[in-house]
Amino acid sequence: MGDLMSVNSKVDTTKGLLEVPGLDVASQFAWKIRLLRINDKSLALASLSGWERNANDEYRKISKVMRIVGTSNLPPRRPHVGKSDKYDVYEMIGDNARLLFFYDKTARVVVCTNSYEKNSSTDQGTAFGLCERLRQEYVKWPPQQRIP
């Protein structure tokens, strides 16, 4: 028991993966869809919550793409998913909303990180860059923190 306690005490509880509220298990049989949480905050969850409250059509479209991604063995392509030209990261595509993510192929998890909107001050390259930095941070985590 002492070994278990010492391992658990080394786990940073301010970061990890969150389940997507309302996304059913059947929509995740190929890949589990999770939201990245760092410092007890999730940019992806904040975006999903905002779209659900203020842009329900965008929320429904992104949710549909989540179900497509979660049930596809290979990354889907446009019109549902786009890939960065520069990094190994992707975007789920709504009308204006984009939810960025990467694949953790070892754990079979899609990790959603951040978002952007086409008509906002944030550009796509900046959003993809942030997703890549978050991916690089994630791969440094101990394996027990990457369990979906």
pLDDT of 3 over the 80 cut: no
Residue 148 lies in a domain: no
Domains in the chain, number: 1
Residue 130 lies in a domain: yes
Residue 10 lies in a domain: no
Expressed as residue numbers, the domain containing 87 is 25-142
Residue 18 lies in a domain: no
The whole-number average pLDDT for the span 113-121 is 92
Residue 15 lies in a domain: no
Crossing angle for the helix pair 43-54 and 56-70, to the nearest 10 degrees = 130
pLDDT of 12 over the 80 cut: no
User: For residue range 33-62, what is the model confidence (pLDDT) as tens digits?
Assistant: 999 999 999 999 999 999 999 999 999 999
Residue 125 lies in a domain: yes
CATH number for position 110: 3.30.2310.20
- Can you give the pLDDT at residue 146? 82
- pLDDT above 70 coverage of the chain, percent: 91
Residue 79 lies in a domain: yes
pLDDT of 1 over the 60 cut: no
Residue 13 lies in a domain: no
**Cross-strand partners of 48:** none
Give the pTM. 0.89
